[in-house]
Structure 1
Amino acid sequence: MAGRQLASKWLKTEALLSDARIAGYIPRTKAYSAAALLSMLRIYGNVVIKPVVGGGGYGVIKVFRDTRGYGFTSMDSTRVYSDFRSMRRALDRVKVRRRYLIQQGITLARIAGRPIDYRVKVVKNNGVWEFRSMVGRLARPGLFVTNLCKGGTMMSCRQGLRHSLPSIKSSAKKSEMRRLTIHCIGILERRFPGIGELGFDYAVDHSGRIWILEVNTRPQ
């Protein structure tokens, strides 16, 4: 039984941010507005915008600021504009017709230039939460989204960590993901009673730091 569904990324992010031990693992996140987008681009240089409700990489766009000006990447297409206003007008035409949030851009560790992140799936079985899978998702060449439905390649978590960050102990990173997952389950179950299945999307950046990108109540 899958249990309660919770579509809003914003509600789940808010719940995790309420815990001081987890808040530091969450990229800075804001509701989408032009002012918030400009502010976060000035601070971080690149951000990801994603629909508050949606999955499978649908509608996810990377927005950046660099020496050329302002730009965005949607799937494998990148556009650059000399000023923020022109970029935002073009971005508004590309966004799907849903509410969006803005998330601090994380520079993912890579394998042969392709970004990789990790999906940890847990299921509640007879009242006990069980780990069902921990896998790496390697983006299709040319894309920044890692979703398997967008052509990403699945590999074991250990294989992904060893190939993307060979100088870091993969077993320690796996253990940290497991500990984070267990702690987050408690937070989410208290806030949203009835959930029975969760998929955690973790990033490991180029320095080896773990980030919680999002949590799904209907993981694929």
Structure 2
Amino acid sequence: MPEPVLGILALYLNEAKQLEEKSVYQKMIVEGSRIGLDVFVFTPADVNPGKELIHALVYDPKSGKWSRKWRKFPNMIYDRCRIQRSERFQQLLRFRSRYHHLTFLNRPLRNKWTIHQTFSQKSRFRQHLPETMLYQSTADLQKLLKHSSVIYVKPINGTGGRGILRIERLQSAKRRFDIQGRRQDRRIIAPRKVTLPRLESIVRQWCLGGQYLVQQGIPLRLSSGRFHDYRMLVQKNGQGIWELTGMAGRVGAANSVTSNLHGGGRAVRAEKLLKEWLGSEDKAEKAMKTAEKLGLEAAVFLEDSFGALCELALDLAIDREGRIYVLEVNPKPAREVFARSGDMATYRKSLLRPLEYALWMYKNKNTPSSAKTVEE
């Protein structure tokens, strides 16, 4: 009997046909061959719709080489495409529309604002959300600054810490603010002090040409002066059940308002960072258990709301009292935070779980598992 086939759907980064996660896909192909799953990589540009064939990227674990081969459409598709401002992304939208009937492990989530509004419908999640507004005028900025001494301005579709401003109301000076941030190319904007009119002008300029959120800041500055947060990964296992795969801490680069690894941050084991932050092992353990329960329930709820998912990363802020806030959710999460924190067992598990779930789906007539099923 032929092996079931999984196609990893990706997007080229440029005209040179570079793939951002090619080394990750290589590892997944190797793991797939070990468990009886044939895995290849393709983009919408590689599809020949007339012949219903794909000029796929194929990796041979024996020779250690990549090559191109014409392949039939796979039994299942694992969508790893992130938002781009390019014709390639428009091509992806057309592909998703044309082949909507195919079996996808995961469907796209909505933007940060829609996800925030969806979470806000349930009291279970409201307590874990920082106060957030869609930026429409300087009145929104002023309103949030009255309630919170620190706020963030962030794009509703941004990833990797791009395009984020941090604004802090200074106690010592009347109507003066400290601002710092990261541009769209991830360059750090050094801290500077401005008046309210100047701040409003900067934010107006910053938000031109896109939609942005203003969000309450949670105190996350470590004694070193660097900001930190936590990345939690929940995935469906080989029985189609949501499980926690792992959680890691992220500490931002010097002078950075974000903790993203792409922006120069470093990864730390979550239990180590939480113990340091909360002051005891017991408090750290309790926070991690609360976070796990929240993550699994959030995955079920979002899948119920938006359609099939196979994994979800939650970026969490945990304050000094151990209160947990969901800063963002990501349905196409990177995994290197586990490798960089030295947790190679969790890193390998994070690669393997979507493959095991794909096999489960294939054996169960390609039906995504019920969003209601969560392991207690």
* Same fold flag (TM > 0.5): yes
Deviations 1:107-147 (A, max 9, x none): 01525222221001122245222322210001112212000
Which position in structure 2 is the counterpart of 1:215? 329
Partner Cα distance (1:92, 1:29) in 2: 17
Which position in structure 1 is the counterpart of 2:108? 5
Which position in structure 2 is the counterpart of 1:70? 177
Aligned residue identity for 2:284? S
Deviations 1:66-124 (A, max 9, x none): 23313421134122222x22212123334573210111111015252222210011222
Which position in structure 2 is the counterpart of 1:180? 294
1:6-21 mapped onto 2 (5 Å cutoff): 6-21=109-124
Aligned residue identity for 1:147? N
Q: Which moved more, 1:179-188 or 1:105-114?
A: 105-114
3-state DSSP of counterpart to 1:173: helix
* Residue 54 (str. 1) matches residue 158 (str. 2): yes
Partner Cα distance (1:210, 1:61) in 2: 22
Which position in structure 2 is the counterpart of 1:87? 199
Deviations 1:158-189 (A, max 9, x none): 01101222246211111010011111112111
CA RMSD of aligned residues (A): 1.8
Please give the TM-score of this superposition, normalised by the length of structure 1: 0.92
Which position in structure 1 is the counterpart of 2:222? 110
Which position in structure 2 is the counterpart of 1:137? 250
Indicate conservation of the 8 Å contact 2:243/2:296, yes or no. Answer: no
3-state DSSP of counterpart to 2:198: helix
Please give the TM-score of this superposition, normalised by the length of structure 2: 0.55
Partner Cα distance (1:7, 1:56) in 2: 17
3-state DSSP of counterpart to 1:110: coil
Partner Cα distance (1:112, 1:159) in 2: 15
Partner Cα distance (2:277, 2:221) in 1: 6
Q: Which moved more, 1:59-68 or 1:90-99?
A: 90-99
Shift of 1:210: 1.3
Indicate conservation of the 8 Å contact 1:111/1:164, yes or no. Answer: no
Determine which structure has more spread, i.e. the larger CA radius of gyration: 2
Q: Which has the higher strand share?
A: 1
Indicate conservation of the 8 Å contact 1:200/1:214, yes or no. Answer: yes
Q: State which of 300, 305, 311 in structure 2 corresponds to 1:191.
A: 305
Deviations 1:9-51 (A, max 9, x none): 0111111111101101100010013111111111112101110
Indicate conservation of the 8 Å contact 2:119/2:126, yes or no. Answer: yes
* Cα pair distance change 1:7/1:22, threshold 3 Å: closer
Indicate conservation of the 8 Å contact 2:234/2:296, yes or no. Answer: no
3-state DSSP of counterpart to 2:227: strand
